[in-house]
Structure 1
Amino acid sequence: MLDEARALGARIVALEQELDRLFAGGTADTGSLAALTASLGSPSGRLREVHLTTHIAMRDALRPEQRALYAQLRGYGSGHR
Structure 2
Amino acid sequence: MRRHIVIGFAASVLSTPVLADDSHTPYAGLASRDIATLSESDIAELSAGRGWGFALAAELNGHPGPAHVLEHAEDLGLSPEQRKRVEEIFTAMQVEAITAGAVFIAAERALDTAFSNGGLDAAELEVLASAAGQARSNLRFVHLSRHLETLEVLSAAQVAQYNDLRGYTNDPCAKIPEGHNAEMWRRHNGCDS
TM superposition score normalised by structure 1: 0.78
Supply the distance in 1 between the matched residues of 2:120 and 2:162 (Cα, whole angstroms).
45
- Per-residue CA deviation, residues 15-64 of structure 1 (Å, 9 max, x unaligned), is 10111111112132211110011112322222122111111111111122
Task: Name the structure 1 match of 2:130.
Answer: 38
Task: Name the structure 2 match of 1:18.
Answer: 110
- By relative contact order (CA 8 Å, sep 6+), the higher-ranking structure is 1
The answer to whether the 8 A contact 2:104-2:139 is kept is: no
- Over the aligned positions, Cα root-mean-square deviation in angstroms equals 1.8
Select the structure that is richer in helix. Answer: 1
Task: Name the structure 2 match of 1:53.
Answer: 145
Q: Which has the larger radius of gyration?
A: 2
Deviation at 1:10, TM superposition (A): 0.4
Pair 1:6 & 2:98 matched: yes
- Mind listing any 5+ residue stretches in structure 2 that lack a counterpart? 1-92, 171-193
Percent identity between the aligned chains?
A: 35
SS of 2:169's partner is coil
Amino acid at match of 1:11: V
- Mind listing any 5+ residue stretches in structure 1 that lack a counterpart? none
The answer to whether the 8 A contact 2:103-2:135 is kept is: yes
Supply the distance in 2 between the matched residues of 1:45 and 1:2 (Cα, whole angstroms).
16
The answer to whether the 8 A contact 2:111-2:128 is kept is: yes
Q: How many residues align?
A: 77
